[in-house]
Chain A
Amino acid sequence: MASPRTLLDKLWDEHVVVPASDDAPAVLAIDLHLVHEVTSPQAFDTLRERGLSVRRPDRTLATMDHSTPTLPKRADGSLPVVNEQAGRQIDRLVENCRAFGVTLHGYDSPNRGIVHVMGPDLGATQPGMTIVCGDSHTSTHGAFGSLAFGIGTSEVTQVLATQCLLQRKAKAMAVDVDGELPSDVDAKDLILAIIAELGVGGGTGCVLEYRGEAVRSLSMEGRMTVCNMSIEAGARAGMIAPDAVTIEYLRDRAMAPAGEAWERAVDRWRRLPTDEGAAFDRTARVDACSIEPMITWGTNPGAAVRVSGVVPEPADRSDEKALAYMGFEPGQAMAGKGIDTVFIGSCTNSRIEDLRAAAEVMRGRAVASGVRTLIVPGSGPVKQQAENEGLADVFVKAGAEWREPGCSMCIAMNGDRVGAGELAVSTSNRNFEGRQGAGARTMLASPRTAAACAVAGEVVDPREFTRSPVGAGVGDA
Chain B
Amino acid sequence: MKPLKAVRSVAVVLPEENIDTDRIIPARFLSTTTSDGLGKHAFHDARRLAEGVPDESFALNDARAHGAEILIAGRNFGCGSSREHAAWALGDIGVRVVISSEIADIFRANASRNGILPIVLDVESHGRLMACGFETMEVDLEACEIRPEGSEPIAFEVDGFMRRCLLDGTDHLGFLLGHYSAIESFDAARDARLAGAES
| Interface: A248 (CB within 8 A) | no
Q: A83 vs B28: C-alpha distance in the bound complex, in angstroms?
A: 11
Q: Which of A103-111, A349-357, A429-437 contacts B (4 or more CB under 8 A)?
A: A429-437
Docked-complex contact A201 and B76, CB < 8 angstroms: yes
Contacts of B138 in A (CB 8 A): none
Given A42-B33, A135-B82, A164-B176, A154:B18 Cβ within 8 A: no
| Interface: B123 (CB within 8 A) | no
Docked-complex contact B87 and A42, CB < 8 angstroms: no
Q: Which of A85-93, A176-184, A370-378 contacts B (4 or more CB under 8 A)?
A: A85-93
Docked-complex contact B164 and A205, CB < 8 angstroms: no
| Interface: A260 (CB within 8 A) | yes
Q: Which of B4-12, B98-106, B139-147, B148-156 contacts A (4 or more CB under 8 A)?
A: B98-106
| Interface: A234 (CB within 8 A) | yes
- Closest A residue to B164 by CB, please name it: A23
Given A200-B79, A201-B18, A318-B74, A439:B50 Cβ within 8 A: yes
| Interface: B158 (CB within 8 A) | no
Contacts of A99 in B (CB 8 A): none
Contacts of B169 in A (CB 8 A): none
Given A152-B83, A154-B172, A300-B20, A38:B161 Cβ within 8 A: no
Q: How many residues of A contact B (CB 8 A)?
A: 72
Docked-complex contact B159 and A317, CB < 8 angstroms: no
Contacts of B114 in A (CB 8 A): 154
| Interface: A22 (CB within 8 A) | yes
Contacts of A22 in B (CB 8 A): 160
Docked-complex contact A92 and B33, CB < 8 angstroms: yes
Q: A152 vs B87: C-alpha distance in the bound complex, in angstroms?
A: 10
- Closest B residue to A436 by CB, please name it: B27
Partner of A29, one of B33, B79, B177, B187: B187
| Interface: B183 (CB within 8 A) | yes
Given A158-B173, A430-B80, A27:B87 Cβ within 8 A: no
Interface residues of B in 80-112 (CB under 8 A from A): 80-84, 87, 102, 104-106, 109-110
**Count of A-B contacts judged by CB separation below 8 Å:** 178
CB distance from B45 to the nearest CB of A (A): 5
| Interface: A367 (CB within 8 A) | no
Partner of A201, one of B16, B102, B161, B182: B102
Docked-complex contact A136 and B106, CB < 8 angstroms: yes
| Interface: A384 (CB within 8 A) | no
Q: A272 vs B179: C-alpha distance in the bound complex, in angstroms?
A: 28
Docked-complex contact A204 and B80, CB < 8 angstroms: no
A 398-438 binary contact with B (CB < 8 Å = 1; else 0)? 00000000000001110000001100000000101111001
B 167-180 binary contact with A (CB < 8 Å = 1; else 0)? 00000110111011
| Interface: A53 (CB within 8 A) | no
Docked-complex contact B104 and A161, CB < 8 angstroms: no
| Interface: A289 (CB within 8 A) | no
| Interface: A73 (CB within 8 A) | no
Q: A46 vs B81: C-alpha distance in the bound complex, in angstroms?
A: 22
Contacts of A433 in B (CB 8 A): 22-23, 45-46
Given A135-B82, A158-B172, A201-B76, A234:B20 Cβ within 8 A: no
User: Of A17, A152, A157, A264, which is in contact with the most chain B CB atoms at under 10 Å from its CB?
Assistant: A152
Docked-complex contact B172 and A200, CB < 8 angstroms: no
Contacts of A284 in B (CB 8 A): none
User: Of A29, A158, A234, A439, which is in contact with the most chain B CB atoms at under 10 Å from its CB?
Assistant: A234
Q: A135 vs B186: C-alpha distance in the bound complex, in angstroms?
A: 27
| Interface: B190 (CB within 8 A) | yes
B 101-145 binary contact with A (CB < 8 Å = 1; else 0)? 010111001100110000000000000000000000000000000
A 147-164 binary contact with B (CB < 8 Å = 1; else 0)? 000111111011001111
Docked-complex contact A435 and B27, CB < 8 angstroms: yes
Contacts of B175 in A (CB 8 A): 24, 166
Docked-complex contact B79 and A260, CB < 8 angstroms: no
- Closest B residue to A44 by CB, please name it: B33
Contacts of B50 in A (CB 8 A): 420-421, 439
- Closest A residue to B81 by CB, please name it: A136
CB distance from A441 to the nearest CB of B (A): 12
User: Of A18, A170, A232, which is in contact with the most chain B CB atoms at under 10 Å from its CB?
Assistant: A18
Docked-complex contact B183 and A27, CB < 8 angstroms: yes
- Closest B residue to A46 by CB, please name it: B173
CB distance from B49 to the nearest CB of A (A): 10
Docked-complex contact B172 and A432, CB < 8 angstroms: no
| Interface: A316 (CB within 8 A) | yes
Docked-complex contact A39 and B84, CB < 8 angstroms: yes
| Interface: A244 (CB within 8 A) | no
| Interface: A472 (CB within 8 A) | no
B 15-51 binary contact with A (CB < 8 Å = 1; else 0)? 1111010110011101111110000000001100010
Docked-complex contact A204 and B33, CB < 8 angstroms: no
- Closest B residue to A29 by CB, please name it: B186
Docked-complex contact B82 and A150, CB < 8 angstroms: yes
Docked-complex contact B164 and A152, CB < 8 angstroms: no
Docked-complex contact B177 and A136, CB < 8 angstroms: no
CB distance from B104 to the nearest CB of A (A): 6
Interface residues of B in 43-90 (CB under 8 A from A): 45-46, 50, 74-76, 79-84, 87
Given A261-B196, A434-B45, A164:B183 Cβ within 8 A: yes
Docked-complex contact A300 and B161, CB < 8 angstroms: no
Residues of chain B whose beta carbon lies under 8 Å from any beta carbon of chain A? 15-18, 20, 22-23, 26-28, 30-35, 45-46, 50, 74-76, 79-84, 87, 102, 104-106, 109-110, 113-114, 159-161, 164, 172-173, 175-177, 179-180, 182-183, 186-187, 190, 195-196, 199
Q: Please list 5 pairs of residues, one from A and one from B, whose beta carbons are closer than 8 Å in the complex, sorted by A's number.
A: A18-B179, A200-B76, A201-B18, A264-B199, A421-B50
Extra contacts, 13 of them, besides A41-B33, A168-B159 (Cβ < 8 A), are A18-B179, A25-B161, A29-B183, A29-B186, A55-B183, A204-B76, A232-B80, A234-B76, A264-B199, A318-B17, A318-B74, A412-B28, A438-B28
Counting from the closest, the 9 A-B pairs by CB-CB distance are A152-B84, A201-B76, A152-B110, A150-B82, A41-B33, A85-B31, A136-B82, A154-B113, A153-B84
